[in-house]
Amino acid sequence: MDEWTPSPDGSRIATTSYSFQQSIIHVVPASGGQAKDITVKDWIRLTSLTWAADGNSLFASSDSSRGSTLLHIDMNGDAQPLLRNGNDFFLVTASPDGHHLAFGAVQYNSNAWIIPDVPKP
């Protein structure tokens, strides 16, 4: 699963691919030119990539078997966890004024039953 997002001013595009090994965000100038790779330290399996309103950092979600962590990532790849959730975050979006984040959270429900006397064929 690939993620991509244009910067607020439209001058750059950030992309990442879902990976179990490492997280690299590619920042490509929209007008062409040299891309910058940002290796996100200590986090893998990035989803929901989006720019901060000022265009100087990014937000993403990191998936794990225990749910997701919403991250704030600077341009050096340092990630600060903002929120942990037992579910998955999706469609993370920064408000234009930079004061709020909007996102959805996927909730999974499951049940298990024990059937004591399963008929034998």
Q: Which residue segments constitute the domains of the chain, with CATH numbers given?
A: 2-106 (2.120.10.30)
Q: pLDDT of 64-104, one tens digit each?
A: 877 789 999 999 999 999 998 777 788 888 999 999 988 88
What is residue 1's predicted lDDT score, i.e. its pLDDT? 54
Say if residues 44 and 90 touch (Cβ distance below 8 Å). no
User: What is the structure's pLDDT at 63?
Assistant: 86
High-pLDDT (> 90) share of the chain, %: 57
Question: With DSSP H G I counted as helix, E B as strand and the rest as coil, what are the percentages for the chain, rounded to 5?
Answer: 0, 55, 45
pLDDT over 60 at 109, yes or no: yes
Residues 103 and 120: their CA atoms lie apart, in Å, by: 48
Look over the chain and give the mean of its residue pLDDT values, rounded to a whole number. 88
CA distance 118 to 57: 56
Encoded amino acid at 13, one letter: I
